[in-house]
């Protein structure tokens, strides 16, 4: 398969290219942003347009040793122009942030720590919009779900912003609801948006200023696609209504997961990120509950379990009404879940490695192999 050119060129700066990235680019190579990956190949956006490129032997070797080295949507790549005019993805530039499933998600000292064996779902995300509907069926916004998604967002290294979507569905109760949501998201911006009327959409767009890259996390039906369309000012995503009415035929554009917005900024919408919910929250949980962490420092005992210990500042805050009891319950729950996930993903990775070796050994025992 040869590199094919799907469209006209892209202004690199509109894709988020800047001086600090330029300083990382190996000499003689061309920068490109990964818009989508397929097995062994990627679709990239660059000054030469929208290209399909294969991975160099160097990239393939690195990825075989650690899947974290596989290109993913949002990555900045360095392309080599081959003599016949095609391009090859020669290297990845260091990631600033990463959503990693199963493994170490932290970005440490200018890049992902090399000891991880996780799968990177998206890279170089600056902003994570946590979308939670003001009203879904008969319930108002689910604070526990917001806290869980915030933990995932913090863990990626990107900056979370909570969006209470479908704000038109609650009337006078909105102010109260917004205060409740804010109490579940200390240190995080919380905005109400209505993608139908457009209210609040400009504030959301403001978070993308300077060609920042965002992802939208949220349950099915939270209004993610509708919001992305409102941000784009055009129909770039299929929403549930479109799917229900006629569904087919509307999506004639090339399927792309990195969506440059007309007014600047980019949104990443990948099936991988859409399906998450069960990936590592790690230290992200501590970030979500910074209010409790702060209180805990004032507990009499350093190993206070905030249960029935004397001199517990957390219990005291619940009793004087400054900390909702729900927060402590939610914290306990997410901590247990994060610990369970960590143990589970290690077990899964061990099994994966075992399977890999089984296949290699079987391959080696095949008759005729390595024989003349």
Ligand X SMILES: Nc1nc2c(ncn2[C@@H]2O[C@H](COP(=O)(O)OP(=O)(O)OP(=O)(O)O)[C@@H](O)[C@H]2O)c(=O)[nH]1
Helix residue ranges, H only, 28-93: 57-65
Query: Nearer Cβ to ligand X, position 62 or 135?
Result: 135
The residue range among 203-211, 217-225, 303-311, 356-364 that interacts with Zn ion, by the rule CB under 5 A, is 303-311
Please work out, in degrees rounded to the nearest 5, the angle formed at the alpha carbon of residue 329 by the alpha carbons of 173 and 331.
100
Interaction between residue 240 and ligand X (CB under 6 A): yes
Rule CB under 6 A: say whether 225 interacts with ligand X.
yes
Name 7's Cβ contacts closer than 8 Å, sequence gap at least 6: 49, 50
* Residue 146: count of CB within 10 angstroms of its CB: 27
312 binds, among Zn ion, ligand X, none (CB under 5 to 8 A by kind): Zn ion
Distance from C-alpha of 305 to C-alpha of 324, rounded to nearest angstrom: 17
Residue 260 lies near ligand X (rule: CB under 6 A): no
Binding site for Zn(2+), residues?
Answer: 299, 304, 306, 312
Choose between 220 and 343: whose C-beta lies nearer to ligand X. 220
Partner interacting with residue 314 (select from ligand X, Zn ion, none; CB below 5-8 Å by kind):
Zn ion
CB atoms within 10 A of CB 94: 14
Q: 359 and 351 in contact (C-beta within 8 Å)?
A: no
143 contributes a contact to Zn ion by CB under 5 A: no
| Residue 343 engages ligand X in binding (rule: CB under 6 A) | no
Distances (CA, A) of 31 to 17, 25, 55, 120, 126: 8, 7, 14, 20, 19
Alpha-carbon distance 258 to 75, whole Å?
10
Binding positions for GTP = 165-168, 218-226
Q: Which of 25, 62, 159, 169 binds ligand X (CB under 6 A)?
A: 169
The count of residues interacting with Zn ion (CB under 5 A) is 5
Q: Does 354 bind ligand X (CB under 6 A)?
A: no
Interface with ligand X includes 214 (CB under 6 A)? no
**Helix (H, G, I), strand (E, B), or coil: what is residue 73?**
coil
**Residue 171 is encoded by which pair of tokens?**
């009337």
What is each CA distance from 213 to 17, 94, 335, in whole angstroms? 11, 16, 29
In order of 72, 170, 176, the CA distances from 3 in angstroms are 18, 50, 54
Work out which of 177, 314, 328, 334 binds Zn ion, going by CB under 5 A.
Answer: 314
From the list Zn ion, ligand X, none, partner contacted by residue 120 (C-beta under 5 to 8 A by kind):
none
Nearer to Zn ion, 215 or 304 (CB): 304
Residue 138 touches which member of Zn ion, ligand X, none, C-beta under 5-8 Å by kind: none
| Residue 246 CB partners (closer than 8 Å, separation 6+) | none
The binder of 208, among ligand X, Zn ion, none, by C-beta within 5 to 8 A per type, is: none
Strands 107-108 and 76-81: unpaired
Residue in 33, 148, 166, 191 binding ligand X, rule: CB under 6 A = 166
Give the separation between CA 8 and CA 358, rounded to whole angstroms: 46
Binding segment toward ligand X, per CB under 6 A, in 29-37, 58-66, 121-129, 239-247:
239-247
Pick one of Zn ion, ligand X, none as the site partner of residue 50 (Cβ within 5 to 8 A by kind). none
**What size, in residues, is the chain?**
372
Task: List the one residue from 312, 317, 323, 328 that touches Zn ion (CB under 5 A).
Answer: 312
Our finding on whether 304 is near Zn ion (CB under 5 A) is: yes
Task: Decide if residue 74 touches ligand X (CB under 6 A).
Answer: no
Question: Does 284 interact with ligand X (rule: CB under 6 A)?
Answer: no
Burial class (CB in 10 A: 0-12, 13-18, 19+), 111: middle
In the bound complex, what is the minimum distance in angstroms from residue 307's beta carbon to Zn ion? 8
* Residues in CB range of 270: below 8 A, 6 or more apart: 73, 121, 122, 257
223 binds ligand X (CB under 6 A): yes
The verdict on 200 binding ligand X (CB under 6 A) reads no
Least distance to Zn ion, CB of residue 327, Å: 13
Binding site for ligand X (CB under 6 A): 165-166, 168-169, 194-196, 218, 220-226, 239-241, 274
Residues at the site binding Zn ion, with contacts judged by CB under 5 A: 299, 304, 306, 312, 314
């Amino acid at each position: 398969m040869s590199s094919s050119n799907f469209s006209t060129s892209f202004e690199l700066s509109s894709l988020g290219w800047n001086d600090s990235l330029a300083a990382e680019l190996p000499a003689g190579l061309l920068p490109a942003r990964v818009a989508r990956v397929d097995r062994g190949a990627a679709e990239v956006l660059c000054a030469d347009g929208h290209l399909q490129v294969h991975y160099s032997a160097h990239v393939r070797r690195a990825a075989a040793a650690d899947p974290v080295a596989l290109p993913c949507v949002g990555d900045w790549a360095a392309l080599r122009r081959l003599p016949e005019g095609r391009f090859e993805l020669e290297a990845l530039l260091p990631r600033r942030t990463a959503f990693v499933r199963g493994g170490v998600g932290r970005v440490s000292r200018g890049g992902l720590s090399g000891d991880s064996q996780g799968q990177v779902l998206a890279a170089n995300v600056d902003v994570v919009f946590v979308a939670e509907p003001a009203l879904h069926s008969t319930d108002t916004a689910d604070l526990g779900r917001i806290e869980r998604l915030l933990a995932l967002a913090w863990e990626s290294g990107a900056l979370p912003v909570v969006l209470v979507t479908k704000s038109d569905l609650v009337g006078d109760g909105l102010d109260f609801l917004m205060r409740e949501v804010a109490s579940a998201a200390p240190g995080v911006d919380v905005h109400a948006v209505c993608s139908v009327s457009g209210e609040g959409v400009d504030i959301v767009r403001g978070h993308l200023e300077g060609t920042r890259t965002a992802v939208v996390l949220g349950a099915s039906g939270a209004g993610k696609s509708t919001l992305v369309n409102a941000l784009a000012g055009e129909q770039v995503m299929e929403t549930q209504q479109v799917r229900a009415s006629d569904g087919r035929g509307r999506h004639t554009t090339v399927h792309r997961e990195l969506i440059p917005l007309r007014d600047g900024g980019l949104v990443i919408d990948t099936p991988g990120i859409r399906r998450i919910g069960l990936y590592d929250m790690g230290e992200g949980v501590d970030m979500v509950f910074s209010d409790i962490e702060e209180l805990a420092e004032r507990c009499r005992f350093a190993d206070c379990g905030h249960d029935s210990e004397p001199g517990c500042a957390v219990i005291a805050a619940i009793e004087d009404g400054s900390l909702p009891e729900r927060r402590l319950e939610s914290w306990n729950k997410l901590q247990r879940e994060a610990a369970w996930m960590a143990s589970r993903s290690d077990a899964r990775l061990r099994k994966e490695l075992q399977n890999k070796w089984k296949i290699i050994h079987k391959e080696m025992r095949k008759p005729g192999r390595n024989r003349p």
